Chains A and B, each alone.
Chain A
């Protein structure tokens, strides 16, 4: 597997526990629990991330937590995090206004293997909040569209109300050069689209197993079913790309929380091939 981890910038390498400072440039409430934060490093530097990487965000006095970066590095200076209010740090973040300072360590971890995807068909499969890190990849694929062959995006949510980035989704849907399909587990009266798990979308696709790189982010139950489907059409194990969620503290391969067998998800991942994960007990749980 090609390692797409970017070289940590000097300061992080020197003092990997010391956060850089960032400020909130903009906040946008996407639905009752998710908010999009647009951040900028206060020293004016670019974050320099790759799609699929994450940052550790500090709210000083409350704590630090890992979040995947949701914006594409092709979009320049600012970067975006889409965060569900669920724990201490995320609840504290919601109370912060524009201009508030946060600590940021990163970018951390190994991102999506863009070099494997270039020249090939890209099949992006997002379940629920899995769309958040995949949006970074989608942005890159759109901005460098000519580098990729067929691009298909499948997005499954629990309900239409939980769907994120609705305006952007409309734009993806409108594009001729992307096949975008969305489904919801439970419909509401306004919903005219597909109903059912994301596997129902896959079933209707025709994919070329020789040229397709499936990239999926979602809950473990989605991995279980979708991996089975992509294997069944003959896509090799080392070309199936997944990103794992784990509890992370240090983010730099020390503290132990995200470890699966000999692998640290924070540094060896969070993006892996299925071939890598298959040998790891507990990886797909």
Chain B
């Protein structure tokens, strides 16, 4: 009668089956599709518009708006993990003795019955034939075990026994990947930071939660540059960044797309750029018209700069940038403010709203000032990440490639040769072999061995 199984045994058995692996993989593959079809991490309104209230409720309950972090998706990954570990332990307890046997032995009868057995005859003394076979087999496989039988001699050799470990390397690599991902999820972050040229920040904003996070040091953007192809497509963008720690400049480095800066476990990437809105512009082209002569002069100015005007006595100074210029209680938007100093020393304040280029003309002063062009500063869009799990993932990557290579292209092959006396000065030679994979490859190899022995 079959013994009744205890609960732990049943659980062990559940995780021990390859059926579970296949079903879990099918579920993972099928559900992964959902996240590529349904928008991820969108705003509630977007889902409401696309799927209605009912659809949105369902999406919320199952976390489909962030499904790759959803409890059920992670559960599938954890089941996969337990499945691999339990299976490997279960199988290794058996395979271990196969991979590392105390003594390599073989069952001659098993080899005699193999379908791939090739029998041919040799026209030499048995002892000479045995020597030939030993030489060829030793070269193709490895150490030879030789036994005398009633009718002749049998030789056995094998290679690649260790390659049976390959699948475990692959499976361990998957564990490494998942552990690395877990560490990254728990202790890492992904944030972004838009930094104006000249500006400094000691924090960035988490991409998902949109809350600030301290970096432990400050970043200053010294300069940003963008180059374009003649087609107008961007060719390259580059930021010069200085890391400032405890109030001291630590170092300066240029970063480009694909060439990030890594410092203290934090990675800083060039990801985008734009025109700075918050800070003052880089340079301003100012046009000044002398009312009496109608003469127009153009100056390229910076904030705080002063220029002599055409009459040789007056001057104009560009003082500041006002994001919300107030004129008699009206908000005229972005504007510059400057002062004209007359030849008699009188100072007049002028406002230059960007939206109304002829605004200063209406003042009807001796000079009319207008802003022709504003060269805005850029901001650099930085992506800032930290992921302490990445090394586990990379170890996993390397193990997976090595493991796949061993599993796919190497095999544990055993060869068996029996040399029996046939007639005088002639013998019958039988060659057969086993392999744990790629039977076709073994067949080809057996044929080459036969050719080599015959050629001796």
Bound together: no
B interface residue numbers (CB < 8 A to A): none
A interface residue numbers (CB < 8 A to B): none
